[in-house]
Each structure stands twice: as structure tokens, then as C-alpha cells.
């Protein structure tokens, strides 16, 4: 199996990663190789096997509902590329 150029661009779009022209072909090769590599799992019959999403037994972790401290505002914003100290500022989303 080999991914098409369009498929690579679609994946990159979903992943929100812009690809340069020369990267498209490189990733097309490499991603196709990786997908072919993992295809080996199809040799195994897994009919009737339950998936193991986690090795930790699924159980509820409960605690008393006691208010506690969370990260203070100045710590929350200390790594923001753009902030006014109360909000993360993003490029305008709403078109007029």
C-alpha cells in the first residue's frame, strides 16, 4: 500500500501541520513504509479478543468534593505567546 499525495495532504491538514513541497514526497514514502510495517498485525486472528486500552483495571477514582487551589492566573499565562493577563489572545476567528 502506498499513500497518495492527496492522502498525505489530508492527514497533514487533520494534524494541523503545514508541509513544504519537498516534505510531501518524503513523508509519503516514510508514512507508507510505516503503515506497511504495522500491517503485519493482520497475520494475527484477533476475532473475539477484547481490546486492552489500559493495563490499569477500569474503575472509578472517587474523592470528596472539596474545593482546592488550582494554578494561579499568573502561572497559567506565563507561557502564553499572547495574553492580556486575563485571556489567551488568538487571531480573530469571526469574519464580519
Partner 1 sequence: MELLNKSLRELHTLIKRKELKPSELVEAVLKRIEETESKLNAYITVTDEKARKKAKIADEELAKLSEDEIPELFGIPLSIKDNINVENVRMTCASKILENFVSPYDATVIKRLREKGAIFVGKNNLDEFAMGSSTETSYFGPTKNPWDLERVPGGSSGGSAAAVSARSALASLGSDTGGSIRQPAAFCGVVGLKPTYGRVSRYGLTAFASSLDQIGPITKTVEDAAYLLNIISGQDSKDATSAKIPVPDFLEALNGEVKGLKAGLPKEYFVEGVDPEVKENVLKVAELLEKNGVSVEEVSLPNTKYAVETYYIIAPAEASSNLGRYDGVRYTYRAKDYKDLIDMYCKTRAEGFGDEVKRRIMIGTYTLSAGYYDAYYLKAQKVRTLIYQGFQNAFEKVDFLITPVTPETAFKIGEKTDDPIKMYLSDIFTIAVNLAGLPGISVPCGFDSKGLPIGVQLIGKAFDEETILKVADFVEKELKLNTVPEL
How many chain residues bind partner 1 (CB under 8 A)? Answer: 48
* Distance in Å, CB of 62 to partner 1, minimum: 10
Question: Which residue bears the cell 472509578?
Answer: 60
- Interface with partner 1 includes 96 (CB under 8 A)? no
CB-based contacts of 73, cutoff 8 Å, min separation 6? 85, 86
Residues 15-74 that bind partner 1 (CB under 8 A): 15-20, 27, 30-31, 33-35, 37-42, 44, 46, 49-56, 61, 63, 71
Helices (H), the chain: 5-14, 21-38, 73-77
> Is 88 in a helix, a strand, or coil?
strand
Helix, strand, coil percentages for the chain (3-state, nearest 5): 40, 0, 60
Binding site for partner 1 (CB under 8 A): 8, 11-20, 27, 30-31, 33-35, 37-42, 44, 46, 49-56, 61, 63, 71, 75-76, 78-82, 88, 90-93
Amino acid at each position: 500500500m502506498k499513500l497518495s499525495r492527496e492522502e498525505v495532504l489530508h492527514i497533514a491538514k487533520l494534524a494541523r501541520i503545514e508541509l513544504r513541497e519537498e516534505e510531501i514526497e518524503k513523508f509519503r514514502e516514510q508514512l507508507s513504509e510505516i503503515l506497511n510495517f504495522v500491517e503485519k498485525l493482520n497475520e494475527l486472528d484477533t476475532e473475539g479478543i477484547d481490546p486492552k486500552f489500559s493495563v490499569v483495571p477500569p474503575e472509578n477514582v472517587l474523592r470528596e468534593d472539596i474545593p482546592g487551589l488550582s494554578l494561579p492566573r499568573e502561572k497559567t499565562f506565563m507561557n502564553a505567546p499572547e495574553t492580556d493577563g486575563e485571556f489567551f489572545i488568538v487571531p480573530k476567528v469571526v469574519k464580519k
